[in-house]
């Protein structure tokens, strides 16, 4: 397993897949890197002075963050294509409605109506 815990971003990446995980309890740590059998802890700079990394030969101290990532991975279900297409269409229509509101505020009623009709699919 290859893993990176990016503490400031509250992100755990395992074998290329990332999930948000609360890392707020790892004060002073920038990242944890693990590559199959070994790794290292990268610390945040203090007053522009970077501490040397600590070498790891055991990942068990960070198992709770791995478990949180696994829980996120097991909950993740990608949207089917039809659902994601619907979300994109909704976003597009909302953007057109915002543009129509701006045109209406400028007194360009005809252009606003055309955009509203377009956003409704007519």
Q: Which of 37, 6, 1 is nearest to 20 (CA)?
A: 6
93-122: per-residue pLDDT in tens?
Answer: 666 677 778 777 888 877 777 767 766 665
pLDDT value for 12: 92
Query: Is pLDDT above 90 for 59?
Result: yes
- Which residue bears the tokens 């948000």? 20
Whether the Cβ atoms of residue 38 and residue 55 lie closer than 8 Å to each other:
yes
13-30: per-residue pLDDT in tens?
Answer: 999 888 888 998 999 999
The model scores a pTM over 0.75: no
DSSP output for the chain: -EEEEETTTTEEEETTEEEE---TT-TTEEEEEEETTEEEEEEPPBTTBPPPPEEES--GGGHHHHHHHHHHHHH--PPPHHHHHHHHHHHHHHHHHHHHHHHHHTT-HHHHHHHHHHHTT-
């Amino acid at each position: 397993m290859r893993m990176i815990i990016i503490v400031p971003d509250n992100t755990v990446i395992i074998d290329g897949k990332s999930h948000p995980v609360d890392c707020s309890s790892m004060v002073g740590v920038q990242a944890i890197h693990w590559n199959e059998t070994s790794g290292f802890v990268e610390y945040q700079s203090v007053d522009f002075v970077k501490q040397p990394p600590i070498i790891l030969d055991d990942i068990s101290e960070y198992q709770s963050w791995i478990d949180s990532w696994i829980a996120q991975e097991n909950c993740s279900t990608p949207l089917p294509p039809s659902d994601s297409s619907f979300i994109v269409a909704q976003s597009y229509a909302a953007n057109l409605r915002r543009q129509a509101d701006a045109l209406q505020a400028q007194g360009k009623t005809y252009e606003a109506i055309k955009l509203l009709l377009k956003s409704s699919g007519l």
